[in-house]
Amino acid sequence: MKLWVPAEVLWIFAGILGLLTLASLVVTFLRRGDAEGRHAELASRVNSWWVMVGIFALAVSIRRDAAIAFFAFLSFLALKEYLSLIPTRRADRRVLFWVYLAVPVQYLWVAQGWYHMFLIFIPVWCFLGVATRMVLKGETRDFLRAVGTLHWGLMTMVFALSHLAYLLVLPDGGHQPKAHGAALLLFVVLLTELNDVLQYVWGRTLGRHKVIESVSPKKTVEGLLGGALSTTLVAYFLAPLLTPLTPAHAIAVGLMIGFGGFIGDVTISALKRDLGIKDSGSLIPGHGGILDRVDSLLFTAPLYFHFLKYFYF
Amino acid sequence: MGLVLRYLWYGVIVRLVVLIVLGLNVRHRERLPAHGPAILAANHNSHLDAMVLISLFPLRLLPKVRPVAAADYFLRNRFLAWFATQVVGIVPIKRKRDHEGEDLLAPVSAALARGEILLFFPEGSRGEPEQLAEFKSGLARLAERHPDVPVVPIFMHGLGKALPRGDWVLVPFFLDLWIGEALRYKGSRDTFMQGYRDAMQGLADEEKRAAWS
């Protein structure tokens, strides 16, 4: 079988598997002789990482259109979780149906490499279309809340996430003959998820000062800075392997991912706090729902994408 | 033939719709009975309620898990009757007696005697989406007759949004299910029904759910 991804991507996947193996060994060591099950949550979290990395590697490596379809499905799951969590109006049942249809259409533009339509379909066409469909229904009670929350969902779960898929077709223009879409994608996904883990580890070990207590009481300045800086360090070393980024740009992107990921994370925390829930779902054992996992990507994917697009493509 | 169709229906089509298009968040899954006889008593919002509950069980139990459903509705024409009994696998019960002394619950008792896990909707019909209607006492009469059979209360939320009565467009929503502790018949029908109502209310109040207004 011929994979479409270059060797560098496979090497990085091999490295990730090495890290996961190490994590599993550490968890096994921690749990040895631990009858109280104190690390059960950690163990299920690491196990879920294995599953997620496996699915992601498989989805991304085989063919490009399969990878795009995978992100369309991810958007669908995230949007479904979001629409299930927020208050909705009975009058908008059919509107919600149309909102879901935006997912395949947006990813169709991605697969076609139609950049202009990819950019405006949700901010312009869906923005106007959803409002039109809703106002024609004639229900004015909670109208602003409903139209606002639906558009926010489309912008984050569909528009922002679809930037990940567009990375796959970004090198098609030929400006950077050596760049590969899968490598560009792997760079931002790996660093974003690594940043989440590093911020957690730094926060747990050195965290003293709360950073944004009213939204996320466990987040600390030490976690944020330690995570963002170590992510930047990894970005600096990984960039030449996977991206056309210059060293200075790699540092800029590392910081953007470090801090952007944090903002994405706490934005979804604020949303959950507003709705009065803890986890967005139970799809991923140890992590919560899809939103709990893609929250940071909602910010890092568009930031990284447009940085690349402006300077390189 | 019927069993093959049942496996195709529940193993492929229903699971695709319930697990992929919709999606489940199940609380206290460990409280589900591992074998029959048992009665699962849930609130009723949608035709998909029974499909969702059946997908909670492993496929090997499929021949043993069956929804109790109204004969006058599901057996009203030949195609529907064939589909309901052969594919969906309902235990049909009549809602009105044809003659004095007719035992309406007899088919249900027979199924329990065969060790089946039965899905029972004490509200009787689907009613207003996402609102609990009055639970009818058919459940208590059934429990009184089978005091050794556990009655598991299940509160479901989401299908009234995804596919409410009178609509045919399925809109994806995650479904939330709360499984309660098994109840057994003690005392009187009234105390049993009160216990069931309290259990359902307790499950409904366990977590905040997204408003649907």
Of the candidates A56, A64, A132, which has an alpha carbon nearest to the alpha carbon of residue A98?
A132
> What CA–CA distance (Å, rounded) separates A247 from A241?
12
List of chain B residues whose C-beta atoms are within 8 Å of the C-beta of residue A281: 23, 25, 174
Residue A185 has pLDDT above 80, yes or no: yes
State pTM to two decimals: 0.93
> What CA–CA distance (Å, rounded) separates B129 from B114?
34
Whether the ω angle into residue A240 lies within 30 degrees of 0, i.e. cis, is: no
Determine the pLDDT at residue A48.
95
Q: Both tokens of residue B112?
A: 């329990």
Alpha-carbon Rg for chain A, nearest whole angstrom, is 20
Determine the pLDDT at residue A47.
94
Beta strand B91-93 with B65-70 is parallel
Residue range A233-256: mean pLDDT, rounded: 97
Q: Is B74 helix (H, G, I), strand (E, B) or coil?
A: helix
Q: Are A49 and A197 in contact (CB under 8 A)?
A: no
Complex confidence, ipTM: 0.88
* Sign of the CA dihedral running A140, A142, A144, A147: negative
Q: Is B65 helix (H, G, I), strand (E, B) or coil?
A: strand
What residues form DSSP beta bridges with B152?
B40
Above pLDDT 90, what percent of chain B? 69
Of the candidates B141, B146, B147, B138, which has an alpha carbon nearest to the alpha carbon of residue B44?
B138
Residue range A109-125: mean pLDDT, rounded: 97
Mutate to test the interface with A, among B165, B173, B175 (most CBs of A within 10 A): B173
Residue range A225-233: mean pLDDT, rounded: 97
More confident residue, B21 or A1: B21
For chain B, list residues with pLDDT below 50: none
Place of tokens 């489309």: A154
- The minimum CA-CA distance between A219 and chain B, rounded to whole Å, is 25
Place of tokens 């029959």: B36
pLDDT of B107-156, one tens digit each?
A: 999 999 999 999 999 987 777 777 777 777 789 999 999 999 999 999 99
Residue range A170-193: mean pLDDT, rounded: 94
Sequence-distant (≥ 6) Cβ neighbours of residue A116 within 8 angstroms: none
Least confident of A93-107, A246-260, B54-68, B134-148: B134-148
Mutate to test the interface with A, among B28, B167, B174 (most CBs of A within 10 A): B174
Determine the pLDDT at residue A231.
98
Q: Is B104 helix (H, G, I), strand (E, B) or coil?
A: coil
**Conformational region of residue A113, where left means phi above 0, alpha means psi within -120 to 50, and beta covers everything else:** left
Q: Are B161 and B171 in contact (CB under 8 A)?
A: yes
Alpha-carbon Rg for chain B, nearest whole angstrom, is 16
Residue A243 has pLDDT above 90, yes or no: yes
Of the candidates A123, A115, A118, which has an alpha carbon nearest to the alpha carbon of residue A106?
A118
CB atoms B172 and A100 under 8 Å: yes
List of chain B residues whose C-beta atoms are within 8 Å of the C-beta of residue A100: 171-172
List of chain A residues whose C-beta atoms are within 8 Å of the C-beta of residue B169: 93-94, 97
Q: Is A14 helix (H, G, I), strand (E, B) or coil?
A: helix
Residue A165 has pLDDT above 90, yes or no: yes
Cα dihedral A64, A70, A73, A77 in deg (nearest 10)? -140
List of chain A residues whose C-beta atoms are within 8 Å of the C-beta of residue B26: 282
- The minimum CA-CA distance between A84 and chain B, rounded to whole Å, is 5
List of chain A residues whose C-beta atoms are within 8 Å of the C-beta of residue B210: 84-88, 275
What is the C-alpha end-to-end distance of chain A, expressed in Å?
Answer: 30
CB atoms A84 and B213 under 8 Å: no
Determine the pLDDT at residue A1.
66
